[in-house]
Amino acid sequence: MTLAENPLPQLRQHELQAKAYSDPLTGLGNRHRMRDKVHLLAAERAADPAPFTVCIANLDGFKPINDLFGMEAGDEILCQVAHRLKACIPDGATVTRHDGDEFAFVLPLVFERTGAERIGQMIRDVLSAPYDLGDRNVRLSASFGFAIYPFAGEHFEELLKSAETALYRSKRRGRGQITVYSQEIAQEMMRATQLEQALRHAIISDAVDVHFQPIVRLDDGSVVGFEALARWNDKDLGFVSPAVFVPLAEERGFIDALSETLLRKAAEAALSWPRDLFLSFNLSSAQLMDPTTTESILSTLARVGLDPHRLEFEITETAVMTSADTAERIITDLRKAGARISLDDFGTGQSSLGRLRDFTFDKVKIDRAFVSRITSDRASGHIVRAIIAMCDGLELEVVAEGIEQPEEAEMLRSLGCAMGQGYYHGRPADTASTLRYLSTHHRDFMTPERD
């Protein structure tokens, strides 16, 4: 019997080929399908290289969906995403599931940046609508990286790398961002990589330092504790802002190493302070997603010999909500060990009142955005007054951040705010300068804690 008479082997071959080019969950094509489509387009346009565009889209905040609702819910959302993408992409375009919660597109009729950005905005809007999980709805955003042939690469792997570079830049800028690859962006990402290498070396060589800003009682100016703040002064790069290198450590996955170094140094410094002073330390969103965070923190404190009761950990609402269940366990475990928890930047989130209800905090820090306008903006004054009254009813302590003028300190005191910090009360200072500060601002400085 010939193949023509018995088509079963050919059918099996087609089935195997279809499986090799398809994503089993969503039914979309996979990376192999995308690669072949790009190769075909590049070959068709080789003589006259007319542009076309590839894109990678990544779902923002997808991991907490799996953590909160389970893998089945995550798979259901991925299938709904695939359905929406198939329905909305332009004629002639190809959509594939690239990897995990990433999807990819080949757009033959998108020739330049403006068109790519327009398509990205349309797809972003489609994906931002609520997803139905039966008894609940969830919302997600998506970030996009575009690369245009042949400017961003003439071969599949080059285009893919360029799109990934653009996507990475989008993720660095926040949620729902759209980036089209360019040489300037490539250089920016290269600088970030160089900065990453320098920071990794600084951590290993113990070159990242800690400074301390006093937190004081507003009625008499007496110091009650210090917030630990990261500082890095590189011999080649000069001063690098923590607003730059801390997020970089989060993005590149070594925030744990940086935080452990900073906590160790801060705790060692705190041993030389009077026993009644607390140390306030910031936890990142990445740490609040890591179940081993509590164990790591307590291990560091044990090695140094600092009592956890002298620790306050500052967290933001955004960090809490990145992985709510894990964050709640970490908060609970740290409080059981004796540490206190402060909600930082209060008033800047979208649902801060809900966080006060859902999580157990000991203290609230009023964001500097309200404090800086308290004497000139009537609305800011009313907001601060309301926050203080609410926290009083909830038995939460309050600290006002960013106090720079005596008038601000006086108004906050008159409104009932007990504590504050800012340049008016003291700038961040190194360990030695902090001890000198204590010599004039704390009556028991001559009896520091000793082991």
Alpha-carbon gap, residue 328 to 308, rounded angstroms: 18
Identify the pLDDT of residue 318.
74
Q: Is the pLDDT of residue 330 over 60?
A: yes
Angle (CA) 426-430-436 rounded to 5° is 65
Identify the pLDDT of residue 3.
46
All structural domains of the chain with their residue ranges: 12-181, 194-441
Identify the pLDDT of residue 324.
75
Rg of the chain over Cα atoms, rounded to whole angstroms, equals: 27
Task: Indicate the pairing of strand 141-149 with strand 178-180.
Answer: parallel
Averaged pLDDT for residues 171-191: 89
Alpha-carbon gap, residue 270 to 304, rounded angstroms: 10
User: Which comes out higher in pLDDT, residue 135 or 3?
Assistant: 135
Amino acid at site 158: E
Are 69 and 133 in contact by the 8 Å Cβ rule? The answer is: yes
Identify the pLDDT of residue 451.
42
Q: What are the start-end ranges of the H helices in 129-173?
A: 156-173
Q: Is the pLDDT of residue 66 over 80?
A: no
Tokens 């360990």 label which residue?
431
Averaged pLDDT for residues 265-269: 97
Question: Residue 354: pLDDT band by 50, 70, 90 thresholds?
Answer: low
Residues 19-56: tens digit of each pLDDT: 778 999 999 999 999 999 999 999 988 777 789 999 99
Amino acid at site 322: T
Identify the pLDDT of residue 11.
52
Averaged pLDDT for residues 215-227: 95
Question: Residue 4: pLDDT band by 50, 70, 90 thresholds?
Answer: low
Q: Which residues does 310 contact at the CB level (< 8 Å), separation at least 6?
A: 270, 275, 277, 278, 279
3-state SS assignment for residue 401: coil
Provide, rounded to the nearest whole percent, the portion of the chain with pLDDT above 70: 91
Averaged pLDDT for residues 154-170: 93
User: Which comes out higher in pLDDT, residue 3 or 145?
Assistant: 145
Identify the pLDDT of residue 348.
65
Averaged pLDDT for residues 339-352: 76
Question: Residue 7: pLDDT band by 50, 70, 90 thresholds?
Answer: low
| pTM metric for this prediction | 0.71
Averaged pLDDT for residues 202-213: 96
Q: Is the pLDDT of residue 268 over 80?
A: yes
Q: Is the pLDDT of residue 350 over 60?
A: no
Tell me the average pLDDT of the chain: 88
Token couple for 323: 């992985």
Averaged pLDDT for residues 3-23: 64
Q: Is the pLDDT of residue 205 over 60?
A: yes
Identify the pLDDT of residue 206.
94
Identify the pLDDT of residue 450.
42
Q: Which residues does 24 contact at the CB level (< 8 Å), separation at least 6?
A: none
Are 332 and 360 in contact by the 8 Å Cβ rule? The answer is: yes
Are 323 and 67 in contact by the 8 Å Cβ rule? The answer is: yes
Q: 12-181, which class in CATH?
A: alpha beta
Are 104 and 89 in contact by the 8 Å Cβ rule? The answer is: no
Question: Residue 425: pLDDT band by 50, 70, 90 thresholds?
Answer: very high
Query: Which among 113, 110, 97 has a CA at the least distance from the CA of 22?
Result: 97
Identify the pLDDT of residue 142.
94
User: Which comes out higher in pLDDT, residue 117 or 359?
Assistant: 117
Would you identify the CATH topology of the domain 194-441? TIM Barrel (3.20.20)
Token couple for 365: 């820090």
Residue 149 CB neighbour total at 10 angstroms:
25
Identify the pLDDT of residue 351.
47
Residues 76-101: tens digit of each pLDDT: 999 999 999 999 999 999 999 988 89
Q: Is the pLDDT of residue 447 over 50?
A: no
Identify the pLDDT of residue 449.
46
